[in-house]
Structure 1
Amino acid sequence: MTTSRRSLLKFAAAAPAAALLPWSPARAAARLKISHQFPGGTTDDGDFRDRLCRKFAAEIAKRSNGELGADVYAGSSLMKTNAQFSAMRKGALDLSLYPLSYAGGEVPETNIGLMPGLVTSYKQGMAWKTAPVGKMLTDLLAEKGIVVVTWMWQAGGVASREKPLVNPEDAKGLKVRGGSREMDLVLQAAGAAVLSLPSNELYAAMQTGACDAGITSSTSLISFRLEEIAKHLTTGRGKAYWYMFEPLLMSKTIFDGLTKEQQKLIMEVGAEMEAFGTAEAQKDDEAVAKVYAKAGAKIYDLDDAVVGKWRAIARDTAWKDYAAKNANCAKLMDLALQVSA
C-alpha cells in the first residue's frame, strides 16, 4: 500500500522525538509543492521570483540530504493565481510566492501589503520584519493559517499604451490596473477607471484595449513582456509610491505537520533568500528601463514632488479607508507609520 505525503507529515508531527535526531534515510520524507503565477525558468535564468523558489527548494533538499524537498509550479500551472492563498489556508497547497494584497478580499488586513505611499524604499519595507508592524502582521497571518517564510518587497512602475502616467492628473480618463483595492481608490480619486486582475493577465487586457495602463512590479513589467504593447514606462527606480509585499508563504497546516527540525530548516533557508530577493528586485528596477527603451518606449522617472502628490491622495483615501475597516487594520496602519522611510 502506498503511503501518502500527508500521512507522512502526520506521522512526523506525531513523533516529536524524531525532531531531535539527525537526518537519516529512515526519517519520513516530505515533498512540498510551491505554486506561483510568474513565468518559469531555472535556478540561474528567468524571473527572479521563480528562481528564488527553485533556490529555496534546492537548498532545503541539500541540507536535509533529500529528506525534505519541493517542486515548483510556475505560471499558475498548479492552480489559478487568486486561489492560492485560500488553498494554503486549507492545507491544499504547501507554499506560494504570493502578492499579499491579492488576499485582500478574504483577509482585509493583507491589503497593507500594497498601500500606496506607505512604503517608499526597500530599506523601510524590510524594516517591517523586525518592527512591531511585522510582528503583528506575522501573528495575524498565522491566525489565518499562513506562515511567512521569506520577506520580500518589490518596487513598481507603470506601462501605458498611448500616454504616460506619471503625475496623478495624468490618470484622468484612463483604464488602469493598480494591483490592490487601496491603489484603486487612489487611481479613482485621480480620475481613472480601475480594473482588478492579477499581473499575469495584464498583457491580454492591454493588448485588447480593455486596459490603458498597468501598474505592477519592475520584474512583472519585464517578465510579462508589456514592452511589446506599451509606448511609455514610468519606472520605480530611485523613487516610487508603489511597493508590494510579495513574500514566500506556507500553509500553517502543512508547516505544523513537519518536524521541528524541518520547520527550522524552512525558516532558516527562507530568511537567507531575502538578500537575494531584494538585490534582484533592485536590479530589475534598473533593467526594466533598458528593456523598454530598447523597444522604443519613452522612459520617465519619479521625483520626491511627484511621489508626494500620490502619497497625499493616498493619505486622504486609501489610508483612511483601510484604517476604518476594523481594529486590526487601524493598528497595522498606525504601526506601519512608525517605521521611518
Structure 2
Amino acid sequence: MQQQSPWARGLRGAIVLLAGAACLPAMADMTLKASHQFPGGKGDVRDEMVQIIAREVNAAKVGLEIKVYPGASLVKANEQWKAMQTGQIDMTSFPLDYASGFHPQFGATLMPGLVKSHEHALRLNKSPFMDEIRKVVEQGGAHVLADAWLAGAFGGKEKCIRKPDDVQGMKIRSAGATFARMWAGAGASIVSISSNEVYNALQQGVATGTDTSTGSMVSFRLYEQLKCVTAPGDNALWFMYEPVLISKRTWDKLDDKQKAALKAASAKAEAYFAAESKKLDDKMVEAFKKAGDEVVTLTDAEFDAWRAVAQKTSYKEFGEKVPGGKELIEKALGVK
C-alpha cells in the first residue's frame, strides 16, 4: 500500500474536520441574558411573557439566542435596571417604578388614579405621556420591547375601603411611595414592610389594610386575612407599568434581522400579557368570594374622591419635586 505524504494526510484530516463541522448544529452568533424577579415555570404571566420572546427569537434562527433567568436567580429584584447598564444582563421584565431612584419620572408609572382600566392602559400606551416615559427609558440606556400594565387592588381587614374617610385610623401597607402619600393624606398611618410580610402583619394586626397587584393578592393568600377587597373594575386606582426592556447597548449591536425577530416576538408577548392580565383580576375576585369575603368596586364618584386626594398629595409632590413631573401628570390625565 502506497504511503501518503504528511501533506496529503494533513489535507485529508482537514477535510474530515470540515465535514464533521458541517453536521453540527449552527451556534448562535449572540446569546442574551434575560433576567427578572418573578417565579419561573409556575404560570406567572410576566415570566411567560419573557419566555414567549425567548422561544420566538430562538426559533427565528437569526443568530440570536435568549436565555431566561427567572426568580431573581441572576440579579436581585431591585437591581435589574442597574444590571442592564453595567452589561451584567441584556433584558428584563421590570416594574419601572423600581428605578425611580435613578429616574424619578418613573414614579408616574405607579401613580394613584392615572390608569383606570386595562382598556385605558392600552390607550395610554399610545399617548404623549408614554412617549415621554419611553424617552426617559432611552436616555437611561434601555429600550422598551413590550408594554405591560398590571392592575392592583386594596382591602381592609375589618371593613371595605370605598371612600377616603374609610381609611382614617387604618394602618396600611402600600406597594409604593406615591400610594403611601395618598393613603396618609386620607388619614391612614403607613406600615413599611416587604410584600412577603403582609400576610403576617395583617394576621397580627400590625397592618389593617394593604394595596398590591391582583396577582399578589392571590399568591400571598391575602383573602385569608382581608374582610373586603376593592377590585379594579372600571375605576381602578392601582396600575403598575412592568415592561420588557432591553439594554440599549445590546439593542444597538443587533442587526436588522435580529431586531425584526425581537420586535415580532415582543408584539406576540405583549398581546398575550394584555389578555392574561385581566384574567388575574377575575381570579382574585373568584378567590375572595370563595373565601366568603366581600368584593366591591369604586363608583365614579368614589374614584373622583380618591383622585382629589391624590391631586393634593401624590400628584402635588411629584409635580414639585420631579423635573417635568407636573407636565407628565397632565399628559396622563389628558388620556380619557
Q: Partner of 1:98 in structure 2?
A: 94
Distance in 1 of aligned mates of 2:35 and 2:145:
12
Match of 1:282 among 275, 278, 294: 278
Instruction: Give 1:205 deviation, angstroms.
Output: 4.2
Instruction: State the secondary structure of the residue aligned to 1:142.
Output: helix
Q: Partner of 1:40 in structure 2?
A: 40
Q: Partner of 1:183 in structure 2?
A: 179
Residues 324-333 or 215-224, more deviating: 324-333
Distance in 2 of aligned mates of 1:275 and 1:118:
22
Q: Partner of 2:9 in structure 1?
A: none
Structure 2 residues without counterparts, runs of 5 or longer: 1-24
* Bigger Rg, structure 1 or 2: 2
Establish whether residue 215 from structure 1 lines up as the match of residue 211 from structure 2. Answer: yes
Establish whether residue 335 from structure 1 lines up as the match of residue 331 from structure 2. Answer: yes
Q: Partner of 2:57 in structure 1?
A: 60
TM-score, normalising length: structure 1: 0.83
Instruction: Give 1:116 deviation, angstroms.
Output: 0.8
Structure 1 residues without counterparts, runs of 5 or longer: 1-23
Q: Partner of 2:115 in structure 1?
A: 119
TM-score, normalising length: structure 2: 0.84
- One-letter code of the match for 1:230? L
State whether residues 25 and 67 of structure 1, in contact with CA within 8 Å, keep that contact through their aligned partners in structure 2: no
Q: Partner of 1:30 in structure 2?
A: 31
Q: Partner of 1:263 in structure 2?
A: 259
Match of 2:300 among 271, 292, 304: 304
State whether residues 319 and 333 of structure 1, in contact with CA within 8 Å, keep that contact through their aligned partners in structure 2: yes
Q: Partner of 1:242 in structure 2?
A: 238
1:193-227 Cα offsets, whole Å, 9 max, x none, are 22455545534544454433221121221223222
- One-letter code of the match for 2:50? C
Distance in 2 of aligned mates of 1:159 and 1:39:
24
Q: Partner of 1:140 in structure 2?
A: 136
State whether residues 156 and 215 of structure 1, in contact with CA within 8 Å, keep that contact through their aligned partners in structure 2: yes
CA distance 1:207–1:331, shift in 2 (3 Å): same
Instruction: Give 1:185 deviation, angstroms.
Output: 1.0
Q: Partner of 1:130 in structure 2?
A: 126
Distance in 1 of aligned mates of 2:79 and 2:193:
13
1:48-99 Cα offsets, whole Å, 9 max, x none, are 222222222212211236732222312x333322222222233223222222
Instruction: State the secondary structure of the residue aligned to 1:327.
Output: coil
1:227-264 Cα offsets, whole Å, 9 max, x none, are 23333222112321212112112222333333343233
Query: Percent identity, aligned pairs only?
Result: 33
Instruction: Give 1:184 deviation, angstroms.
Output: 1.2
